[in-house]
Amino acid sequence: MKIHATHLPATTRRALERDLQAFPEPWLNFMDRYGVQLVVLDGQETLADSTAVAREAVADQAGWKTRAQAALAPALAQVEPGTPLVDHLHAYLNELGSPFRVASHHAPVNLDNLAAQRKVGEAYREQWKDELLSLNAPWSSVSPEGFVSSHGVFLLPPVPTAHGSLSDCEYQNAVTTTAESVGKALGFNRGAEQRVLLHSRYLGDNAPEIGGYRVAIHEMGHALDYVLEGLPDHTGYGKHHKDAVLACFQEAKTFTSDRADDSVREFFAEAVEAYLTEPSQDFDFRPDNYRASLRERNPKMAAYLEHLFQSAPGANWVSQPPAPVGLPEGFPDPDKDPIYLG
């Protein structure tokens, strides 16, 4: 499995690779084929700095621009200025799968301020502004007061990064996923994105605060949980996996942390971590976090994992990622809704 990490000391990388090798190779390879990315951030990095975002880079941006201008320029020419267009245009572009995002304004727009608001990297701001002007040229103009579109609506282009241009929605998600936010959580799994995010400071053998807690194994345990749940039921997993883990959770909740007592997802991830972890020889705030202890405390969960890890996924198995959780119906989503400017 490829590790997306820009700055990772050799000793830390070796510890991480060893932890990954604790997973039986057939299942590790299956998660890799499914699309799980392992991303390690450090310092002031964000997800937007990682090679991992290349997967979301916009393909054929020039073609999208040509198609958008060909459709919108004549349509806007037939609509009276002041007609409410934002929601209709937003829905139309979303239906097409367009990488452009709709914005509206009532006053001239300072593009330098807009670039800063959208968190565009300073090295790419001129390129981004040029692309915005070119994309909106058929229905916009620039004056000393700023940028103005004929109908008060315009399109935001993808944001350039070192690893390709990302749609504004993808970029906002990536640039706000900081190393510090990952570090505060120790690490986390984003099932819908098929992405495990880790902070480098918690991956070594002597990482501060965590003792023998193997963060990478734990978070990959979460990823495995989603992979198994997304398999068709005829594989013996899917709904069967969810029901089996829930039964173990309900019968013997007590484990090595309060979170695992309250969450079936945490219960499974901690069980995977324990099953694949050797007893710690040094300080460990979770001294029962190893296989023999799991077998004693949760024999049914240990037996389930033993069966799982001694088997192998089918060559033609395909797992479906979970749908994004999103926001409750009726709530505006700042990452997906149009942008309204003054």
**Assigned domain for 259 exists:** yes
* Average pLDDT rounded to a whole number, residues 88-98: 86
CATH of the domain at 280: 3.40.390.10
* Average pLDDT rounded to a whole number, residues 102-116: 95
**Assigned domain for 127 exists:** yes
Residues 85 and 128 in one domain: yes
The per-residue b/e assignment along 162-185, b for 16 or more CB within 10 angstroms, e otherwise, is ebbbbbbbbbbbbbebbbeebbee
* Average pLDDT rounded to a whole number, residues 153-179: 96
Asked if pLDDT for residue 157 goes beyond 90, the answer is yes
Q: In this predicted model, what pLDDT tens digit does every residue of 185-206 receive, in sequence order?
A: 989 999 999 999 999 988 987 7
Output the pLDDT for position 48: 97
Residues 264 and 145 in one domain: no
What is the tally of structural domains in the chain?
Answer: 2
Domain that holds residue 25: 3-45+178-310
Residues 295 and 184 in one domain: yes
Residues 300 and 241 in one domain: yes
Q: Which residue has the higher pLDDT, 182 or 337?
A: 182
Q: How far apart are CA 163 and CA 47, in angstroms?
A: 11
Residues 82 and 167 in one domain: yes
Residues 167 and 102 in one domain: yes
**Assigned domain for 21 exists:** yes
- Judge if pTM exceeds 0.85: yes
Q: In this predicted model, what pLDDT tens digit does every residue of 290-318 receive, in sequence order?
A: 888 889 888 999 999 999 999 999 999 99
Q: Are 157 and 140 within 8 A, CB to CB?
A: no
Asked if pLDDT for residue 211 goes beyond 60, the answer is no
| In the block, residue with structure tokens 């309900």 | 250
The CA angle 294-290-311, to the nearest 5 degrees, is 70
**Assigned domain for 225 exists:** yes
Output the pLDDT for position 207: 67
Asked if pLDDT for residue 341 goes beyond 80, the answer is no
Residues 40 and 185 in one domain: yes
Q: Which residue has the higher pLDDT, 85 or 65?
A: 65
* Least confident among 102-111, 306-315, 321-330: 321-330
**Assigned domain for 253 exists:** yes
Asked if pLDDT for residue 283 goes beyond 80, the answer is no
Q: Which of 79-93, 265-279, 317-331 has the highest mean pLDDT?
A: 265-279
Residues 162 and 222 in one domain: no
Residues 198 and 293 in one domain: yes
> Strand, helix or coil at 158?
coil
Residues 102 and 213 in one domain: no
Residues 279 and 247 in one domain: yes
Q: How far apart are CA 230 and CA 226, in angstroms?
A: 6
Output the pLDDT for position 258: 67
Asked if pLDDT for residue 287 goes beyond 90, the answer is no
* Average pLDDT rounded to a whole number, residues 315-340: 75
142 band by pLDDT with thresholds 50, 70 and 90 = very high
Ramachandran category for residue 220: left, alpha or beta (phi over 0 → left; psi -120 to 50 → alpha): alpha
**Assigned domain for 55 exists:** no
Average pLDDT of the residues of the chain: 89
Output the pLDDT for position 86: 80
Alpha helix locations (H) across the chain?
A: 10-21, 25-34, 61-77, 86-96, 111-117, 125-136, 168-175, 179-184, 215-229, 239-251, 258-262, 264-275, 291-297, 299-310
Residues 237 and 283 in one domain: yes
